[in-house]
């Protein structure tokens, strides 16, 4: 059963958030620490002052301007937007976010993409209005199977998939679950494990492999905690809004292209949604659950590489593994292209799927 959904949080929850912000117990900071120890205290104080006057109801109104629904799949509530194109022959397209993102990331690409696509934009189980997961085993592969079921329920038997961060793996998992229905997968983040052999790779490929090796040798602390003990982090970021803000903002600003014109309000939108839906902790569990043995993506793939992303995909390696039909290297944008460069992302998605129609 699919039920209409409207986001309308209790005023008491908003009042509680403001009360907690007013009673923040601030940490000390070493003199002239800058960002050497993490996001600076002054920056977080500024964000909190902005948060105190943040208009959450306006964010609700933006989201509620589009049709939203919930359904239960595999025992889990799944929230999603379903925005149909005016074109009867539009290709259905499922868009999937990652961490620390949400469906809010896609608001700026809805109008450009709906000209050619019927859009399905779900909240990953454990994130936002889908609510916390209630059992073990919600892997990337399982989410992919759930999305394939969701598209079946909506009556779509031929569609595309797009995603970045966890959404990249989930999009490939949808194709593995429904290879006869998914026409192609567009990815804007493609982690590439260093290959056993580098023969035939370009100098750019080799440079990216060395960067990936350094990244894997010194995995960021946040990633280690998410992959091993997310519950430990969950206590602090579920009880303290400033703890949540600091945890997310440190990565959010690090992963943006420095030239991107993304306002602090976009960060506050994401953090507030995690806070009000009680999913700050459950969203971390996807990293520990892992890919779940997702099968190789069996359909055509498009890869969009944005220069300020965490790591950059290695073309020579990816092309050994996947049927790459389109590869685009951009000169701007980071880990959140739907927020940073929605025009570039939308046009690349449109061009990729146009070749597959």
Q: Which domain holds residue 315?
A: 2-354
DSSP states along 70-102: EEEETTEEEEEEEE--S-TTPEEEEEE--TT--
What pTM, to 2 d.p., does this model score? 0.96
Read off the pLDDT band of 294 (50, 70, 90).
low
User: How confident is the model over 301-355, as pLDDT tens digits?
Assistant: 999 999 999 999 999 999 999 999 999 999 999 999 999 999 999 999 999 999 9
Q: What is the CATH number of the domain that holds 349?
A: 3.40.50.1820
| Strand partners of residue 78 | 71
Q: Which helix (H) or strand (E) holds 351?
A: helix 342-354
Query: For residue range 272-289, what is the model confidence (pLDDT) as tens digits?
Result: 999 999 999 999 999 999
Contact (CB, 8 A) for 38 and 100: no
pLDDT per residue over 139-190, tens digit each?
A: 999 999 999 999 999 999 999 999 999 999 999 999 999 999 999 999 999 9
pLDDT tens digits, one per residue of 103-141:
999 999 999 999 999 999 999 999 999 999 999 999 999
Beta carbons within 10 angstroms of residue 10's beta carbon: 9
Q: What is the mean pLDDT of the chain?
A: 96
How far apart, in whole angstroms, are the C-alpha atoms of residue 357 and residue 332?
28
- pLDDT, residue 293, reads 59
Q: Can you give the pLDDT at residue 290? A: 85
Q: Model confidence over 38-95: pLDDT tens digits?
A: 999 999 999 999 999 999 999 999 999 999 999 999 999 999 999 999 999 999 999 9
Which residue, among 67, 66, 140, has the nearest Cα to 98 in the 3D structure?
A: 140
Q: How many domains is the chain built from?
A: 1
Identify each DSSP E strand in the chain by its residue range.
2-4, 68-73, 76-83, 91-96, 117-122, 159-163, 182-187, 301-305, 324-329
* H and E: helices and strands count for the chain: 15, 9
* Residue 69 phi, psi (nearest 5): -150, 165
């Amino acid at each position: 059963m699919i039920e209409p959904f409207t986001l309308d949080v209790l005023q008491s929850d908003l009042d509680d958030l403001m009360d907690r912000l007013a009673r923040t117990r601030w940490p000390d900071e070493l003199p002239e620490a800058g960002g050497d120890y993490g996001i600076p205290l002054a920056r977080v104080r500024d964000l909190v002052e902005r948060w105190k006057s943040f208009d959450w109801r306006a964010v609700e109104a933006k989201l509620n301007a589009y049709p939203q629904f919930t359904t239960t799949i595999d025992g889990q509530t799944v929230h999603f937007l379903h925005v149909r194109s005016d074109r009867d022959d539009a290709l259905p397209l499922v868009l999937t976010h990652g961490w620390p993102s949400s469906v809010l990331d896609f608001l700026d690409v809805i109008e450009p993409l709906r000209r050619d696509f019927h859009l399905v934009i779900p909240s990953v189980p454990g994130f936002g209005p889908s609510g916390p997961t209630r059992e073990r085993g919600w892997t990337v592969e399982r989410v992919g199977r759930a999305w394939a079921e969701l598209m079946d329920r909506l009556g779509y038997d031929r569609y595309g998939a797009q995603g970045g961060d966890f959404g990249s793996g989930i999009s490939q998992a949808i194709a593995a679950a429904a290879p006869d229905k998914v026409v192609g997968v567009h990815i804007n983040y493609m982690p590439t494990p260093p290959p056993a052999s580098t023969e035939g790779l370009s100098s750019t490929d080799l440079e990216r492999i060395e960067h990936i090796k350094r990244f894997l040798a010194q995995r960021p602390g946040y990633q280690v905690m998410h992959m091993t003990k997310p519950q430990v982090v969950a206590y602090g970021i579920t009880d303290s809004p400033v703890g949540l803000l600091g945890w997310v903002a440190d990565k959010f600003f690090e992963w943006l292209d420095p030239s991107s014109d993304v306002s602090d309000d976009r960060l506050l939108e994401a953090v507030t949604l995690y806070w009000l839906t009680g999913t700050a902790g459950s969203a971390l569990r996807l990293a520990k659950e892992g890919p779940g043995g997702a099968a190789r993506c069996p359909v055509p793939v498009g890869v969009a590489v944005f220069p300020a992303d965490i790591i950059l995909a290695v073309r020579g390696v990816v092309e050994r593994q996947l049927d790459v039909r389109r590869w685009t290297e951009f000169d701007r944008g980071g880990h959140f292209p739907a927020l940073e460069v929605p025009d570039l992302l939308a046009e690349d998605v449109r061009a990729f799927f146009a070749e597959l129609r």
